[in-house]
Amino acid sequence: MIAKSLISEIYIPLKTSDTGEQALTVMNLYHVRHLPIVNDNQLLGIISEEDILDFDLNEAIGSYSLTLFRAFCNEDDHIFEVMSKMAKYNVTVIPVVDHKENYIGLIDQETLIHRFAKDYSFDHTGSIIVIKTSQHNYSLSEISRIIESEGATILAIFTSQESSNDDNLYINIKINFIDSNHIIATLQRFGYVIEGSFTEEDHDEDALKDRYDSLMRYLNV
């Protein structure tokens, strides 16, 4: 899954001639807090709702004395790289550019959430097990073997750290079983520390958003 395939077709970027009021209207319409400013396919930067409110709403945004940051992703960036950049810059949309850095579209957070959930099994019924282990003792093949020996299928695995100096890894494992108690017991018999477990009997938007936000925080560590 690459950035070019995640571009939303509904957004039109701002121009320097648009007023602050027009920009806020577009933001409110699409429930975003950021939009790119583009002139002749050249990405000038991203403007935020907070930026606009500091100036006269009747003036063109091109007249604002702003230091625009040029957060963007390349059209061939993987979805994880897109998510990482959105987390790094704390934006609700991120522009996409081609190999010549011409603006070709943008990705909004809502589209990213749904595509991530669809392609990485987060909208499948099951449960999540979080294992805490040291980097030295981490063995994906062993963990997979233990879980699969109990008849479960691993749908997704993500690892995270609380900080770059932390030796502990947190392995977040999505499996296709709703009841994971027997799998947890088996993992514990093999000496694994279970940091937590979560059952997902129903898929809802708020739960999906929470999981997406958690992953974004991990990517931003």
Question: What residues form DSSP beta bridges with 128?
Answer: 174, 198
Per-residue pLDDT 10s for the chain (221 aa) are: 799 999 998 899 999 999 999 999 999 999 999 999 999 999 999 999 999 999 999 999 999 987 778 889 999 999 889 988 998 899 999 999 999 999 999 999 988 888 877 766 566 778 989 999 998 889 999 999 999 999 999 988 888 887 767 788 999 899 999 999 999 999 999 999 999 988 865 445 555 556 556 555 555 54
Residue 134 neighbours by CB distance under 10 Å = 11
- Burial label for 147, CB within 10 Å (0-12, 13-18, 19+), is buried
In a shared domain, residues 93 and 135: no
* Positive or negative torsion for Cα 27, 28, 30, 33: positive
In a shared domain, residues 34 and 89: yes
Q: Are 3 and 83 in contact (CB under 8 A)?
A: no
In a shared domain, residues 60 and 135: no
For 171-182, the DSSP string reads EEEEES-S--HH
In a shared domain, residues 97 and 136: no
Domain termination residue (choose one: 64, 94, 117): 117
Q: Is 194 a member of any domain? A: yes
Q: Is 211 a member of any domain? A: no
In a shared domain, residues 15 and 106: yes
In a shared domain, residues 94 and 166: no
Res 205: pLDDT: 54
In a shared domain, residues 30 and 97: yes
Q: Is 33 a member of any domain? A: yes
In a shared domain, residues 102 and 135: no
Residue 85 neighbours by CB distance under 10 Å = 20
Res 221: pLDDT: 43
Domain extent at residue 19 = 3-117
Domain CATH for 49: 3.10.580.10
Picking from 23, 19, 49, 42, the residue whose alpha carbon sits closest to that of residue 95 is: 42
Q: Is 37 a member of any domain? A: yes
In a shared domain, residues 9 and 113: yes
Domain termination residue (choose one: 117, 145, 166): 117
Q: Is 207 a member of any domain? A: no
In a shared domain, residues 108 and 151: no
Number of domains comprising the chain: 2
Q: Which residues of 4-37 are buried (b: 16+ CB within 10 A; e: fewer)?
A: bebbeeebebbbeebbbebbeeebeeeebebbbb
Q: Are 147 and 199 in contact (CB under 8 A)?
A: no
Domain termination residue (choose one: 100, 117, 134): 117
